[in-house]
Amino acid sequence: MDVIANLGIGLQAALTPTMLWYCFVGVLLGTFIGVLPGIGPLAAISLLLPITYYIGPDVAIVMLAGVYYGAQYGGSTAAILLRLPGTASSAVACIDGNPMARNGRAGVALFITTIASFAGAITGLVILIFFSPYIAKLGLKFGSAEYFALMLLGLVAACTFSDSPLKGGAMVVLGLLLSMIGTDVNTGVIRYTFGFSELSSGLSLVALAMGIFGVADIIRNINTIDTSGLSERFTMRSMLPSREDWRLSLPSMARGSAIGSFFGTLPGTGASISSFMAYATEKKIAKQPERFGNGAIEGVAAPEAANNASAQTAFVPTLTLGIPGDITMALILGALIIHGITPGPQLITTEPELFWGLIISFIIGNILLVLFNIPMIGVWISLLKIPYRLLYPTILIFISVGVFSVSNSTFDIYTVVGIGVLGYLLTMLRFDPAPLLLGFILGPLMEEHFRRAMLLSRGNLETFIERPISLTILIITGLAVCFIIASSVRRRLQAYKTDKESHVT
């Protein structure tokens, strides 16, 4: 009965014209951004972040969330047609989706990805509806020690975003250092500003996100993407899967949805990990694994269901515990904080209209996405033909206007350019800048909870191991660190063994 009552509250909040409009705008922009390779939802949300200053927090989050899960739908389009993933999580769709396109089954692949995406998203939303209140009740038992331990676990998990955990850890530390710029909340001391008064309030989250993802991506991709080879046209009939396609796809969608739902609820993981895990699972249990990589439809259905389920369940730790499920969730978490909303266990009880309105909006948004993606595939394909020499200058204009509009400061424009160059250099050195953003957002919160825990315990560090929940989380964190180190050592030994055998041969 509580669930029905809560959904009723959500329906009242979500079915207002304003909420419906921003939900529509978000999913439309998200699909558009997902189709365009090399941009991604992070850059899109960064661009839209300044706009949220001028609209209400509920419609702002609905719009940003729509961009996020809308991009998961659209990301597979370029991956299948051009072998250019629109988002990182859709990279797996290249493996079997592009061979399907080369075999004249592009329409079927695109249709299946849309249905699989919807199935995964609805599965994730069901979990969000039924389990969020219980997770929130558990979160009420959390104090500063538990929150610090949980955020530490999230940062350790973020280290695995990169191919090298050591490089991922370096990016997390850099993000933590950047988060310390500005005025100390407890003492009022201005630190690490290097004489720039504009930095007294800290680095702008908008400038950092736009620079390290938007500007850096533009510099990296401006002369590397060619869409001139796309000329195929599709009809509705050519897109319909056969009975055999459905027989193979439906179980794969179910397994992918389950895998994505699990990984989405884990802080610091994300859709990319779940999509790769779903693909690996399908290949391992397949009776004919040699089909994978040559156009196996299960290799498209499972990863797409997984990344969309993960995109929805990523809101579970973000909204109920205040811990972002992935990097994009960290940016949405920042948007909530900007609007004075503190995500956590109290959110469901203090802001029920916001919480349940968001969930109903997610359901509406996913229905809209199915209606968009199936009949509008031809439109999205034509957008891929826009020359990047015309697209990127427009994006740079939006970045400049967006950054300037936050605080009317030209210093922020210089900042975003500098951070963009830094992001490009990091990418060239094979440092993944994504963990940097997570470290930047969680840094101030970690510092606040650590200091508060120290004040409450009168400086006794044992407070982190005296509390059962905190101790459990720290043990999991320690095991995660051991697993990361063991995996890294194993890879190095395997690489050394392979190199030695090649020399002997």
Task: Express each pLDDT in 388-433 by its tens digit.
Answer: 677 678 778 877 876 776 677 788 888 888 888 888 888 888 887 7
86, 79 Cβ separation under 8 angstroms: yes
Q: Is 87 exposed, middle or buried (0-12, 13-18, 19+ CB in 10 A)?
A: buried
3-state secondary structure of 182: strand
Per the structure block, which two tokens stand in for 243? 């009975």
317, 134 Cβ separation under 8 angstroms: no
d(CA 446, CA 149): 9
| 111 vs 160 pLDDT, higher one | 111
What is the dihedral sign for C-alpha 247, 313, 153, 40?
positive
Our measurement of the distance from residue 274's CA atom to the centroid of its chain's CA atoms, rounded to an integer in Å, reads: 12
d(CA 67, CA 262): 22
pLDDT at 37 over 70: no
d(CA 149, CA 395): 39
d(CA 418, CA 314): 31
Residue 182 pairs with which residues in a beta bridge? Answer: 191
Looking at mean pLDDT, say which of 113-122, 146-155, 339-348 comes out highest.
Answer: 113-122
DSSP letters for 266-300 = STT--HHHHHHHHHHHHHHH-S-GGGTTTT-THHH
Q: What pLDDT is recorded for position 181?
A: 87
214, 395 Cβ separation under 8 angstroms: yes
Round the average pLDDT of the chain to a whole number and report it: 77
Per the structure block, which two tokens stand in for 400? 């400049």
Residue 183 pairs with which residues in a beta bridge? Answer: 190
